[in-house]
Chain A
Amino acid sequence: MSPQVNKKYSLHDLELLISYFLRWGVSFAGFTILLGWVWMLRQENPRLTTFTDYHPQPLLESLHWAVLTNDRPMLICLLGLGILVTLPVLRVLMTAVLFFKQKELRLGTMALVVFAILVASFLLGIEI
């Protein structure tokens, strides 16, 4: 197999790997969110009209409160949402590692830069 064909084959392998990762990740996160939400519905009946005003409670506070009150549906729902949002970030990291393995240094570095910006953007949510 010529190096060109071998490289093309590797890139397709990489695409397939990321594809499986995303498919399973979304399914797992979706199931977790569904479980938490349905459980939440059975426990309480929150009205959407209470969300007309904007008073955000930071995630860390919500988690702390949910642990203290043993609010398992909320914890499961937040876990699902967390997994879902983290999926693309992990996908970028995975892409970076795989590009480096293919000796694609420039693209690997770019993927790492994207990963760093993503991590920084998450931290902004705590700061602002």
Chain B
Amino acid sequence: MLELLLLTTAVAAGFLGALLGLGGGIIVVPVLTLFYHVNIRYAIAASLISVVATSSGAAASYLKDSLTNLRLAVFLEVGTVSGAVLGFVLASYLQAKALFLLFGLFLLFSGAMMLRKRLEQLSETSHPWAEALKLSGSYPERDGQIINYKVQNVPLGLFAMFCAGILSALLGIGSGIFKVLAMDGAMKIPIKASSATSNFMIGVTAAASAGAYLLRGDVIPQIAAPVALGIIVGSFLGAKAMVRLPALRIRQVFVVVIVIVSLQMIYKGLS
């Protein structure tokens, strides 16, 4: 049965997405379009549903661990959600070929980002906006030590979130890589806090366009249901397995696969 095969594929996509730190959406869209020949617009909408599900589930855990900066998330969500609205409108006018091309390029970028070494650079000072809105935060380490951090480059971060929102709606992804890159790279937020805060925002960003896609009829339950259920299960298993498996080595191996798939998507976009 093709539907059960799709469910299994979605479990694998969620598992790999969690293991590689990419999220399930970025894997499931190429699989749906290249292997199952599902129209890319349906694939994007189904993927967004799964992004909402996994992000909301993970956000609950991060919130409980006090890793999420709720104040910063609310502020940056203004950017991501506005971007998502623009992304949805743009997607309505873009041809499927352009979506394939964009997706392929973003996948290539994500592959490169997987290999990047993330350096922790805490800032000594806060941006004036961060001071005014009290966006600086703190979180507890496992040993109980409290890490305090300040927030830099707030306007740049807000603009990056706007771009992340556009990408999310256009490509059906959480664009977590982009968000984390802006937060730990530009805004100098510690990796743990930026990952948790990004995850918290992803659900809202994806919901902005997922709701519109659902109402327009792009969300096909026969596709979206197994994809969402599979990715929820797969992400859960992937997060558990990440602790035991050599995640770095797996990332290095799968970068090759991601590059091949991205080239296929680009080729489909150009052909």
Q: Which of B2, B41, B88 is within 8 Å of A47, CB to CB?
A: B2
Contacts of A56 in B (CB 8 A): 41, 216-218
Nearest chain B CB to A47's CB is how many angstroms away?
Answer: 6
Which residue of chain A lies nearest to B38 when distances are taken between CB atoms in the complex? A51
Contacts of B63 in A (CB 8 A): 15-16, 18-19, 22
Interface digits, A91-107 against B, CB 8 Å rule (1 contact, 0 not)? Answer: 11001000100001011
Contact A52 to B70, CB < 8 A, known contacts A33-B225, A59-B215, A124-B212: no
How many angstroms from the CA of A37 to the CA of B180 in the assembled complex?
34
Nearest chain A CB to B26's CB is how many angstroms away?
Answer: 19
Q: Which of A53, A107, A111, A121 is within 8 Å of B209, CB to CB?
A: A121
Contact A85 to B211, CB < 8 A, known contacts A20-B60, A22-B60, A48-B6: yes
How many angstroms from the CA of A101 to the CA of B2 in the assembled complex?
50
Contacts of A46 in B (CB 8 A): 3, 222
Q: Which of B13-21, B77-85, B113-121, B258-266 contacts A (4 or more CB under 8 A)?
A: B77-85
Interface digits, B29-44 against A, CB 8 Å rule (1 contact, 0 not)? Answer: 0000000111101100
Q: Which of B6, B38, B211, B224 is within 8 Å of A89, CB to CB?
A: B211
Which residue of chain A lies nearest to B221 when distances are taken between CB atoms in the complex? A77
B71 touches A54 (CB 8 A): no
Nearest chain A CB to B52's CB is how many angstroms away?
Answer: 6
B70 touches A11 (CB 8 A): yes
How many angstroms from the CA of A11 to the CA of B73 in the assembled complex?
13
Contacts of A92 in B (CB 8 A): 74, 77, 204
A99 touches B74 (CB 8 A): yes
Q: Name A's interface SS.
A: helix
Contacts of B60 in A (CB 8 A): 18-20, 22-23, 26
Contacts of A5 in B (CB 8 A): none
Interface digits, A28-58 against B, CB 8 Å rule (1 contact, 0 not)? Answer: 0110011011001100011111011110111
Other than the given A30-B229, A125-B214, 5 more pairs (CB < 8 A) read A18-B70, A26-B53, A33-B229, A114-B77, A128-B89
| Interface residues of B, Cβ cutoff 8 Å to A | 1-3, 6, 36-39, 41-42, 49, 52-53, 55-57, 59-61, 63-64, 66, 68, 70-71, 74-75, 77-78, 81-82, 84-85, 88-89, 92, 96, 133, 203-204, 206-226, 228-229, 232
